[in-house]
Amino acid sequence: MPLQFNKLDLRDYLWNVYNVKTLSVRSMVNQQAPSSKGGIRGQTYRPRAEKLMLVELDSPFVWPEAPAESERSAFDYDMWKRTDNEREDQMKLRQNMIAARIPLRTEEAPSAERTALASEAQALLDGRKEWKSSSTRAASAAAETELASPVAGQRDATGGVVVEEDKQADPRR
């Protein structure tokens, strides 16, 4: 609970959000024990205080029903789910690091790049796609650009800009 939150704020929050009447509110601020930064000889400091509020309700509180799957998009449920999955993955990774256990490739889900590479390799093996080396592709691309006549101001096959020379300006030619 934020330290700036007071009894009236909590009473209004419970009434406006959950439609619950409160009979009384008790609040207290708990000071944290001093801690030290940097081990035993480090600088000591007192962590931020925590606020605790106890509420006496008019009637027993019942949590509202969770919204249906179709209504959750208004609450960014998809983003929350992705974040939650990422958090779980990070926790598993951290636990593996603490236990000094390296996960096997068979335990991990294949990445998108690995899946695309596997499908391309399968297409080559099935004969649906023809393999060409990178030097063959570069040679065929150069041959195609040589067939087209270069125009002044455009790039040639090597990537340089074609410049039309003025033969009349140089009398030595």
Q: Are 57 and 6 in a shared domain?
A: yes
pLDDT of residue 149: 52
What are the residues whose beta carbons fall under 8 Å from the beta carbon of 49, sequence distance 6 or more? 3, 29, 30, 31, 32
CA distance 48 to 141: 66
Structurally, the chain folds into a number of domains equal to 2
pLDDT of residue 105: 77
Q: What is the CATH number of the domain that holds 2?
A: 3.30.70.330
Q: Are 1 and 24 in a shared domain?
A: yes
Q: Are 58 and 88 in a shared domain?
A: no
Q: Are 49 and 85 in a shared domain?
A: no
pLDDT of residue 41: 77
Residue given tokens 């067939």 in the structure block: 147
Q: For strands 35-36 and 44-45, give the pairing.
A: antiparallel
Residue 96 lies in a domain: yes
Residue 171 lies in a domain: no
Q: Give me the domain span that covers residue 6.
A: 1-34+45-62
CA distance 170 to 153: 21
pLDDT of residue 142: 66
What are the residues whose beta carbons fall under 8 Å from the beta carbon of 68, sequence distance 6 or more? none
Q: Which regions in the chain score pLDDT beneath 70? A: 137-173
Q: Are 1 and 55 in a shared domain?
A: yes
Residue 18 lies in a domain: yes
Q: Give the residue ranges of DSSP H helices in 19-111.
A: 77-98
State which amino acid sits at residue 44: T
pLDDT of residue 104: 78
pLDDT of residue 154: 57
